[in-house]
Amino acid sequence: LVSRENHPDRSTVTVRGVPIGPDTVTLIAGPCAVETPEQTLEAALMAKAAGATLLRGGAFKPRTSPYAFQGLGEKGLRILADVREQTGLPIVTEVVDAHDVALVASYADMLQVGTRNAQNFALLQAVGAAGKPVMLKRGMTATIEEWLMAAEYVAQRGNLDIVLCERGIRTYEPATRNTLDISAVPVVQRLSHLPVIVDPSHSGGRRDLVLPLTRAAVAVGADGVIIDVHPHPEQALCDGPQALVDGDLERLAAIMRDFPPLV
Ligand code: PEP
């Protein structure tokens, strides 16, 4: 279903009127985690100033440590919905458990499946049946074939509004949090008709790498990027070291302007 064999034209997925696909390079930005109404609104305004047309933000956070901040849950979803109201930015947010899909889908404009759940087939089937566009991150140890098969689980439930997100894979190299597999972008675009975006924040894991990796992503033809921003990253409850700050936004906007879609 997701292969280009029977569907030669590349697809555009529309999230509450915002297109992600071959004719555009979409910027999705926002906080890694929803922490407070003020922090979420500030981050959303930063995202908008940089040219973002979709707001990211996690209310359910899949953390490596059970002692780390796990997200605000439904309270976080309500904050996102309020910030959508105030900024007009549609919401992309993660769902980590099949039992929460209906709840998250009742607030979100796009459901995100994260790297840790990229082969949670029950969750993939549930998001496939939820009637909302889906952003499917690549599993951190997934081959491209496994990633595309994960997308098939969503598609099989009747939902072809899927955006694939390369977010780095685990390799032997510890200098970056994950190794951004930049070649996956054109490889997957040739194999699948689905849009492919890149997450330069979670792949590098470091603020100083986000803009260079964004340039790489848009230069190679990614259909969009998803980027963490935070008004006060030193106080962030999740992934502060990779969040862009106010001073980075003009350069981010310039990168997005300088690299039109590679059709
Ligand atoms: C995220 O985008 O908030 C996230 C946790 O990303 P990943 O699943 O790629 O680690």
Measured from the Cα of 115, ligand 1's closest atom is 8
DSSP conformational letter for 92: E
**CA–CA distance, 73 with 57 (Å, rounded to integer):** 11
Full-prediction pTM beyond 0.95? yes
pLDDT value at position 101?
98
Question: HSE on the CB side for 70, CA within 13 Å?
Answer: 7
Q: In testing the pocket of ligand 1, which one of 54, 112, 123, 179 has its CB within 8 Å of the most ligand atoms? A: 112
pLDDT confidence of residue 263: 65
CA atoms of 10 and 258, how far apart (whole Å): 23
Nearest atom in ligand 1 to the alpha carbon of residue 58 is 3
* CA 181 – CA 32 distance, rounded (Å): 21
pLDDT tens digits along 193-226? 999 999 999 999 999 999 999 999 999 999 999 9
pLDDT of the chain, 263 residues: tens digit per residue = 999 998 999 999 999 999 999 999 999 999 999 999 999 999 999 999 999 999 999 999 999 999 999 999 999 999 999 999 999 999 999 999 999 999 999 999 999 999 999 999 999 999 999 999 999 999 999 999 999 999 999 999 999 999 999 999 999 999 999 999 999 999 999 999 999 999 999 999 999 999 999 999 999 999 999 999 999 999 999 999 999 999 999 999 999 998 878 76
Q: Of all protein residues, whose CA lies closest to atom 5 belonging to ligand 1? A: 114
Check residue 155 and give its pLDDT.
98
CB neighbours of residue 167 within 10 Å:
23
Atom of ligand 1 nearest to the CA of 203: 9
Nearest atom (ligand 1) to Cα of 61: 5
Nearest CA to ligand 1 atom 8: 114
CA of 7 to the centre of ligand 1 (A): 29
Residues 6+ apart with CB under 8 A from 126: 98, 101
Q: Using most ligand atoms within 8 A of CB, pick from 70, 112, 120, 137 the residue to mutate for ligand 1.
A: 137
Alpha-carbon span 121 to 126, nearest angstrom: 8
